[in-house]
Amino acid sequence: MPDALSPNAPINTDRLQTMMETVSTFGGGPDGSMTRLTLSKVDGEARDWLGQWFAQNGFVQQVDAIGNQFGKMTLAGANAPVVMVGSHIDSQPNGGRFDGALGVISACEAILAVTERLKAEGRLSACNFQVVNWTNEEGARFQPSLLGSSVFTGAAKLDWALDRADGDGITVRQSLEAIGYAGTDKVEIPDALIELHIEGDSTLSSVGERFGIFTRHWGATKYRLAFLGRQAHTGATPMAQRKDAVLGAAYLIADLKQMAGEHGLDLHTSVGRLEVFPNSPNTVPSEAVLFIELRSGSPEVLAEAERKMKVKIEEAAAKAEVSYEVRSIDRRRAGRFSADLIAMAEEAAASHGESARHLDTIGGHDAVAVNDVCPSVVLAVHSRDGVIHHPTEFTSPEDHALGTQIVADMLYRMACEGVNVAQIKEAAE
């Protein structure tokens, strides 16, 4: 067993930085911004560059039908376990350079460093490694987000995903063909998945730490709810005769805020979108459609919040004397990442004198999708002031190196000891 107190497979920080700088030339602006929308021309150019790097460094590229781009390093024979590592290189419009890209580039460097180390030691590997660059993590050009990873796991249907269209009516299918990434490779579900990502929040900043592990991913329950009243004149109609759909909405919005307060930090509630009809200043609204989100790291809290919300919807409708219709419900399950991978990351961090703060990821990551089908984890390095999706998003080269070294340590350990990780997701059931 390797020495736990020193880097087992030391990464090459210069090589890592050069790759980070190179990938940033594809869609990067002079102000630090990044606009590399998924399956755009510049995304295609970045993918081509990554494919060339795979070829030059002994990785075999595969591309599946939704355009997920893989680079496999086979060290242990065709039937050995596979550890997949990566993230996404697509970005938001006018976003930052580190969200996603760091996870792909660090995967390349970590696998290369482990491969070199094993060769130098003449050691056989217990597993193979595979870089992944997922299609459309961001959901900025095509909705929904996590599209490539969701097709990979089977949670989304391929044909449906290929038919998603952007604001100009161009489909995923057309975009994949245009940049040459409508692949035909069948890639197997791996035995473990590791994703390194910038934190994108300010917890590490606030406690003065550099490294964290997302141990839980929050679930979300999303309702599209319509309150239905009766259109009438805001002048002549007596107040007692009004059926004001917006009033029902107002009561519920206040109640949802109140509900979040009752659960401390464990529940987020929001109404981000509100559609009012006919939306005329002198007409009592006949319809108000609310886009409600409940989010929690605890499936129990989420279920309880939904139960409470149903009562509040009834109460708001009764108080405003309107009716309501639930137009759609969308649920994303809360869960926990692999305890084995979390423990392995903690040990690797400790070997470098770093603590590993446990974090929740509330928004999505590809590893959240993949965690449904194989043991996964998302590791986080400090992002300055918690900024994400903005040109000022920043993670230092030292923190890139720390995160990448921890990934390399984990991979080296699995190469030496085998991929002995189980999936723990009982909390998600």
The binding site for its own copies (CB under 8 A) comprises 200-201, 218, 220, 222, 233-239, 242, 244, 246-247, 249-251, 253-254, 257, 260-261, 265, 267-276, 279-285, 291, 293, 295, 362-364
Beta carbons within 8 Å of 258's beta carbon, 6+ residues apart:
none
Q: How far is the CB of 275 from its own copies (least distance, A)?
A: 8
Beta carbons within 8 Å of 81's beta carbon, 6+ residues apart:
126, 127, 128, 190, 191, 192, 418, 419
In angstroms, the Cα distances linking 402 to 236, 278, 365, 379 are: 69, 55, 20, 11
Contact status, residue 89 vs residue 133, Cβ threshold 8 Å: yes
Q: How far is the CB of 257 from its own copies (least distance, A)?
A: 6
Q: How far is the CB of 270 from its own copies (least distance, A)?
A: 4
Q: How far is the CB of 326 from its own copies (least distance, A)?
A: 15
Q: How many helices (H) and strands (E) does the chain have?
A: 12, 15
Partnered with residue 86 across adjacent β-strands are 132
Q: Which is nearer to its own copies, 169 or 272 (CB)?
A: 272
Q: Which is nearer to its own copies, 58 or 299 (CB)?
A: 299
Residue indicated by tokens 């970590």: 110
Query: Residue 164: in which H helix or E strand, if any?
Result: none
Q: How far is the CB of 92 from its own copies (least distance, A)?
A: 11
Q: How far is the CB of 341 from its own copies (least distance, A)?
A: 22
Q: Which is nearer to its own copies, 107 or 253 (CB)?
A: 253
Q: How far is the CB of 255 from its own copies (least distance, A)?
A: 9
Q: How far is the CB of 310 from its own copies (least distance, A)?
A: 19
- DSSP 3-state percent helix, strand, coil across the chain (nearest 5): 40, 25, 40
Q: Within 13 Å of residue 182, how many CA atoms lie on the same side as its CB? A: 13
- Amino acid identity, residue 92? Q
Nearest CA among 65, 71, 105, 72 for reference residue 88:
105
Q: Which is nearer to its own copies, 217 or 413 (CB)?
A: 217
User: Radius of gyration over alpha carbons of the chain, in Å?
Assistant: 24
Please count the other Cβ atoms lying within 10 Å of the Cβ belonging to residue 9: 26
Structure tokens at 423: 């999936």
